[in-house]
Structure 1
Amino acid sequence: MSTPSNPAALTEALTRFFGAPRFTASLTLVIIGVTFSTHALRSTMGWPGLIGMLIGLLGFAALSLWARRDTLEWHGVLPISILVFVGWCVLSLVWSEYTLATLRGVSYQVTFGFLAIYVALVRDSIQIVRAIGDVLRVLLGASIALEVLSLLIDLPIVFLGIQGNIAYLGPIQGVFGTRNALGLIALIAVITFIVEWKSRSVPRALGIGSVWLAGICLVLTRSPVILIVALCIAVAAVALYALRRAPAANRWMLQLGLAAATLVTVVTLWATREQVFGLLNAGAELNVRLSLWDEMVRLMPLHPLEGWGWAGVWPSSTPYGWLEFTTGRDYSSGLNAYLDVYFQVGLVGALAFVALVGLAFVRSWILASNKRSLVYVWPALVLVVLIVTSLAESTALVEYGWFLLLVCSVRAAQGLSWRSALARKPDKV
């Protein structure tokens, strides 16, 4: 194969290669695979291996965007809410009491954010759903296989966090480190596999088998937190089904009724949270979280508006070391995304994060309610998973949770953006 003899020919060859649909599809699969496998990759390769892979993916994604620069619609594609929240996190470098950790946290956040935006830009919704479905089938299958291997050798697989409890029907952790993480990903997989199956983008047998695989993983986690999230997803799915079948003229009344019912339910559940966790036999989990949250709330008044500085995954420096000392446990997050954001970047950052999540959800919900294609249901239900789970985990702030949040936010903005509407030229009379 001859090498192009001039810069113009070389540029054209690189553009064809990095802009090819096959390259884009393959890179999307690898990005999603790495994003959902961060725990397994850190456990086997360490942080240097994971960071090296992310840097390589950043480079390929940047080259792919460059090659496709003339075919992508850029106007209004990035929601302002994302820019405001990430910008405030970056700005926290100015007052952070652990500058190096904040620099690492911001870099990690921006890396996954860039990869999410790349995927949302170069692939359409059904292609994203298919890619995530393919990745999760492999990871959930590997999780069950490793849990069975742990049973056969009668030993836990310590470096992956697999405790070998599948013989007792759980709780299992799979390749994701904790049962809550496996349960969350299994829930996302259930939504993804059902959308694939019902939209006929995969063979019926594969779709049904995939749903069974995700369902088995979900049950074997035996996680009370995920059980509550699953119930919320079931209610949201029924509500969306009713909205999509209702006459267009009556949908706004149903939307208002659902909003009111949701608010009452949330307030009621929060007021009776101890009784609810008691019924689920999750008092120990609630006590762990309450003790941590109490200590976080006690320290928040020291930096109420700006927070202590963005960290993402918690470092061992002050004040996080102090929180671990006072509660007697090691933590990598605040076990609540909203409190975690408030603690790290203050009231301003918390409001920016709530605006980001809220706008993404409202746009996705409206599109899911009014668009005929079933694929519009996927971002709305995934965002419900992230929003509800964020009450008990900080998943939405880092890695695959942050990645999914931004993918859903960008896709929703592409379908329902006021800036895009303003940019459209009025039809000629």
Structure 2
Amino acid sequence: MTPTRRLSGLFASAEMARAFTLAVLVAVFGSFTIERMTSSVTLTTIVVLLCLLGGAILWVRREELSVLRIAPSSLIAFLGWALVSLMWTTDKSDTLAGWMSLFGFAFLAITIGHIRDTLQTVRALGDVLRGLLVVSLGLEILSGVLLDIPFAFLGIQGNLALGGPIQGIFGSRNMLGFVVVIALITFVIEWRTQSLSPRVAVPSIALAALLAVMSASPTVIVLAAAVGIVAVALTIVRHTPAERRTAVQWVLGALVAAALTAAFALRHPIIALLDAGSDFSTRATLWNTILDFVSPKAIQGWGWFGPWARGEFPFTYINFQLDDHHQSALNAYFDVLLQLGAAGLVLFLLLGGVATVRSWLVASVRRSVVYAWTPLMLVTLAVDSMFESFTIVGAGWFMLVLCALRAGQSRSWRENIDAAHTGVIPTLRTEA
């Protein structure tokens, strides 16, 4: 066998696919620590090398792929609009750098989506998050108990002995809370699919729950409540006979609309109950200021940057007016509206909305509980986007693209086009 064939065989192997997936997940979810312990150049180099490796893997597996189904059209449209914003941005170099980061993480998610199935992805993510959460707890114990000094270079304040809040290796308590909710969903799905034995699954869930409490993040409570409600609703739908499932879906939809209306009407008591008044007040003031800067460029926005670039208008001026140093809009929807305008926000909502509907429909008719992972993850991303901008950068953006791709692989108009060429009629088998 020639060296070229051996190399192709290596890139096409299941072992390479698993190793690549683990490496990507560690780089994505550990990006803050990597950047703080080395530099942004090192993180960029790692992402670029992984993208090149992912490109090689996809090229070797090209016969398994369909060009039409490489990526959701809504994702392509959103990436395209962000790139087009180079035409009117206030800083072309920063916009290009922000877009390259957006594209890089999206490409890694697309690669994993094509070389790993849902269960394999869940198991790999569970393994990585278990390790990162153990490292987070270990460093918090070292900083807050054993040494009693903060690890400033990692953002760890050493408050564990005081009962929190803690940040782990993720930079902030809200990011830790976000990762912990992702971990909890993943660990429970692993357990339910019997991918883990109880002696591993139960300590994993307990660890994630402990870190969720110690993070003292108000968003964790909201995320946990939202995910719990959606999980119950999805369970009801999955156990409803097929002939009554549509009616149940509509009833649940009406209940969700009523709940959202009630939550908005009772927002002030809810905020007081969560003891998040100061946090919400800060966000409300920031969002009102952002709206003032949206109006001059309501359709196209100011150009894509991702995290707010230092020294760039309008971000610096917004912070100047508020006498603060925000690095994002603390809301993914407001951030997209500010940077890409109403057109970009519509594309962003289509990307997440279509993926959520598709994944929900698939999970409601498929017997395996692993199909519930995608809609639960998308709900987590959608709810968290109301309080943070994690979904448009780094791990949050990676998860959004991965879930959107996963949802599109089961229900997509591209299946009909593929069927025209193959003669196979695409169906979604109902497993009641």
The whole-number CA distance in structure 2 between the counterparts of 1:264 and 1:307 is: 32
In structure 2, C-alpha distance between the alignment counterparts of 1:297 and 1:353, rounded to whole Å: 18
Q: How far did residue 16 of structure 1 move?
A: 1.1
| 1:414 equivalent among 402, 409, 416 | 409
Write out aligned runs for 1:231-250 (5 A): 231-250=225-244
Supply the distance in 2 between the matched residues of 1:135 and 1:414 (Cα, whole angstroms).
24
Do residues 111 (structure 1) and 104 (structure 2) align?
yes
Is 1:350 matched with 2:345?
yes
Paired with 2:322 and 2:397, the residues of 1 have a C-alpha distance of 27
Shift of 1:115: 0.2
Q: Is residue 163 from structure 1 mapped to residue 149 from structure 2 by the alignment?
A: no
Superposition CA RMSD, Å: 1.2
Q: 1:251 aligned to 2:245?
A: yes
Tell me if structure 2 keeps the 8 A contact 1:129–1:192. Answer: yes
Decide which of 291, 296, 299 is 1:302's aligned counterpart.
296
Q: Alignment length, in residue pairs?
A: 420
Is 1:423 matched up with 2:418? yes
Other-structure match for 2:34: 41
Query: For residues 326 and 404 of structure 1, what CA distance do their matches in structure 2 show?
Result: 33
Q: How does 1:136-151 map to 2 (within 5 A)?
A: 136-151=129-144
Equivalent-residue separation in structure 2 for 1:27 and 1:328 (angstroms): 44
Q: For each residue in 1:142-182, what CA deviation from the matched residue of structure 2 results, as whole angstroms up to 9, or x when unmatched?
A: 11100000121010111111111111221110000111100
Query: What is the rounded CA distance, in whole Å, between the counterparts of 1:266 and 1:315 in structure 2?
Result: 34
Relative to structure 1, is the Cα distance of residues 275 and 98 closer, same or farther in structure 2, using a 3 angstrom cutoff? farther
In 1, distance between residues paired with 2:173 and 2:59? Answer: 40
What are structure 1's unaligned runs of at least 5 residues? none
Partner of 2:218: 224
Shift of 1:19: 1.4
Deviation at 1:332, TM superposition (A): 1.7
How far the C-alpha of 1:421 sits from its partner, in A, is 2.8
Decide which of 153, 159, 179 is 2:173's aligned counterpart: 179
Q: Equivalents in 1 of 2:179, 2:379: separation in Å?
A: 13
Partner of 2:95: 102
Q: Is the 8 A contact 2:34 2:43 kept in 1?
A: yes
Per the normalisation by structure 1, the TM-score is 0.96
Task: State whether residues 70 and 110 of structure 2, in contact with CA within 8 Å, keep that contact through their aligned partners in structure 1.
Answer: no
Q: Is the 8 A contact 2:12 2:61 kept in 1?
A: yes
Secondary structure at 2:386's aligned position in 1?
coil
Q: Deviations over 1:115-156 (max 9, x none)?
A: 000000000000000010000000001111000001210101
1:279 has 2:247 as partner: no
111, 117, 134: which is aligned to 1:124?
117
> Which position in structure 2 is the counterpart of 1:371?
366
Q: Does 1:76 align with 2:72?
A: no
Cα shift at 1:66: 1.2
Query: Which 5+ residue runs of structure 2 have no aligned equivalent?
Result: 426-432
2:387 to 392, 395, 399: 392
Percent identity between matched residues is 37
Partners of 1:363 and 1:416 within 8 A in 2: yes
* Structure 1 residue 71: Cα displacement: 2.6
Q: How far, CA to CA, are the matches of 2:293 and 2:388 in structure 1?
A: 19
Query: Aligned to 2:197, which of 203, 224, 227?
Result: 203
Aligned mates of 1:73, 1:376 — CA distance in 2: 22
